[in-house]
Amino acid sequence: MRKITIAIDGYSSTGKSTVAKRLAKALGYVYVDTGAMYRAVTLFALRNGYVGGAEDNFDALVASLSEIDLRFRPNAETGQSDIYLNGENVEREIRTLEVSKYVSQVATLEAVRHKLVEMQQKMGAEKGLVMDGRDIGTVVFPDAELKIFMTASPETRAQRRFDELRQRGEQVTFDEVLKNVRQRDHIDSTRKVSPLQKAEEAIEFDNSNLGLEEQFEAIHNYALDVI
């Protein structure tokens, strides 16, 4: 079987990563969560006070980008990859609502995108990869053999994210989460550099009313058709 590149893009909390991880496992492919990379840069910015304080300092963030070392390393317990920021496993910390509040602003910065896109393209040079994000089919791998664009209603997505955060013990309200999902969608789809948009040839996949199994089967079949 030939190895291909699979790009899964879409709005926040559409369940891209859940399906992407399963698909990668089924095909024996590498899975890359590009959202985790933008989140790790945001965590770095928060820790250094470049965002989250009285005033944002994006210039200082951009000036210190060379100090940021990002890596994915396998986690033997979960069988998945965790993201490391300058040698520290930050997989858990990047998923908080605090990081979600600032990540889309950080992701508008051209220098940040440039650095991360370059890393992503290197990771996918050998193909045999499922990558999820916002600009994978449009910018990172415009030649990907299979492109999926995931959608679901904002309420469905906020409910999923809310359940996930509560399960992790975060004290958040549904309204807060819904507001964040809407805000990120807006910033992500209206930013100047690589806005979130469906690649022309991408398959639009609305999963509002689909369970995980059905989603996986449908997308797995699309992949098998191409491979």
Binding residues for ATP: 10-18
In the complex, least distance from residue 32 CB atom to ligand C5P, rounded to whole angstroms: 10
Is residue 99 classed as helix, strand or coil in its secondary structure?
helix
In the complex, least distance from residue 166 CB atom to ligand C5P, rounded to whole angstroms: 17
List 10's β-bridge partners, or say none.
150
The token pair that represents 32 in the structure block: 């890359």
**Site residues, ligand C5P (CB under 6 A):** 12, 34-35, 38-39, 103-104, 107, 133-135, 184, 188
- The residue among 34 and 215 lying less far from ligand C5P, judged by its C-beta, is 34
- The residue among 91 and 188 lying less far from ligand C5P, judged by its C-beta, is 188
Torsion, Cα of 190, 68, 66, 107 (10° steps): 0
Is residue 203 classed as helix, strand or coil in its secondary structure?
strand
In the complex, least distance from residue 152 CB atom to ligand C5P, rounded to whole angstroms: 13
- The residue among 27 and 116 lying less far from ligand C5P, judged by its C-beta, is 116
Determine contact, residues 199/143, Cβ cutoff 8 Å.
no
Please state, in angstroms and rounded to a whole number, the distance separating the CA atoms of residues 201 and 179.
30
In the complex, least distance from residue 109 CB atom to ligand C5P, rounded to whole angstroms: 10
Q: How far is CA 224 from the centre of its chain?
A: 23
Determine contact, residues 100/178, Cβ cutoff 8 Å.
no
Numbered residues of the known binding site = 10-18
- The residue among 104 and 207 lying less far from ligand C5P, judged by its C-beta, is 104
